[in-house]
Amino acid sequence: MIIPLDQRRADVETVTVKLEARRVGIRYRRQRTGDELVAVDGVDLIVSQGEFVSIVGPSGCGKTTFLNAVDGLIPIASGSLLLDDRDITAPGPDRAMVFQQPSLLPWRTVMGNVIYGIEMQHRAGRESREIAKRLIDLVGLGGFAESWPSELSGGMQQRVNLARALATDPELLLLDEPFAALDAQTRETMQQELTRIWGETRKTAIFITHDIAEAVYLADRVIVFTARPGRVKLDIKIELPRPRDLRLKREVEFVAYERTIWETIREEVIRSETLRTRAVA
């Protein structure tokens, strides 16, 4: 189901709004030339409490830039970005980011890495080890608590990364292409594991990806950005039952969602290339 933005705003009146972007614009200056680049221009979207939202779009459309703004890592130039009805102005313990690379501390064990986020919140102690152990088990790494990152596969390292993010008990979980560096088989396994983990925690989540099938499989809603400067072109509700098995990707309904999103992105790629050709000519 494709949801018009005004209808989306009306729908969330009956639920708790966790994140709201109102006409968000993000700009930055290129170091080499000094000229200003508009990365995001007029993004308007809402994410409800406990919702899993995927964002896709053409390469360079501002997906990660927008996510970094939600995390408070970069400022917005215009509009407003609200978490729990408060302006986002800086990073905070109410958000946790899972990056493409695990970025684990090599001198810490799995347990030590998971506890690290709790330590940064100045609440480490006996209880923190219990929390970390529960999350290590949750992400499927029971028995590896005292292993070093170098002893783990890429997929296992990302499980640690996810556990570390969850350990801080964030209001909003941000995931920036966390499975992009994994091989195809491991990636699908991690997709299924993430749906299981999300089903148990029900954390509000925003997931950035270039993989359309991954976006559809994981999400309650998929948002498609236009080519740069990024805007919301499509907001589509994924009405597929949970829990989801990987075999769902072969179902007719799944393929129909995938095709709709692919065609929307293709339109943007063609439009962008046409504009670029005209500008050169």
Q: Which residues pair with 238 in a beta bridge?
A: none
Contacts of 18 (CB under 8 A, 6+ apart): 47, 48, 49, 50, 51, 83, 84, 171, 172, 204
DSSP label of 219: -
Q: What is the pLDDT of residue 8?
A: 52
Find the largest Cα–Cα distance for the chain. 67
pLDDT in tens, the chain (281 residues): 555 555 555 555 567 999 999 999 999 877 777 788 899 999 999 999 999 999 999 999 999 999 999 999 999 999 999 999 999 999 999 999 999 988 899 999 999 999 998 888 767 677 888 999 999 999 999 999 999 999 999 999 999 999 999 999 999 999 999 999 999 999 999 999 999 999 999 999 999 999 999 999 999 999 999 999 999 999 999 999 999 999 999 999 999 999 999 999 999 999 888 887 777 76
Q: What is the pLDDT of residue 19?
A: 98
Sort 70 into a burial class: Cβ within 10 Å, 0-12 / 13-18 / 19+. Answer: buried
DSSP label of 227: S
Number of residues written out for the chain: 281
DSSP 12-75: GGGS-EEEEEEEEEEEEE-TTT--EEEEEEEEEEEEETT-EEEEE-STTSSHHHHHHHHTTSS-
Q: What is the pLDDT of residue 32?
A: 75
| Residue type at 234 in one-letter notation | L
Q: What is the pLDDT of residue 128?
A: 85
219 near 54, Cβ under 8 Å?
yes
DSSP label of 226: P
- Whole-model pTM: value is 0.92
| Residue type at 11 in one-letter notation | D
Which of 21, 57, 4, 20 is CA-nearest to residue 215?
Answer: 57
Phi/psi for 228 (5° steps) reads: -55, 135
Cα 171 to Cα 166: distance, rounded to the nearest angstrom:
10
Q: What is the pLDDT of residue 10?
A: 53
Domains detected in the chain: 5-94+170-280 (3.40.50.300), 102-169 (no CATH)
Q: What is the pLDDT of residue 136?
A: 96
Q: What is the pLDDT of residue 250?
A: 95
Contacts of 259 (CB under 8 A, 6+ apart): none
Which of 206, 212, 151, 214 is CA-nearest to residue 182?
Answer: 214
Which of 185, 184, 225 is CA-nearest to residue 206?
Answer: 225
SS3 content of the chain, % helix, strand, coil (to 5): 40, 25, 35
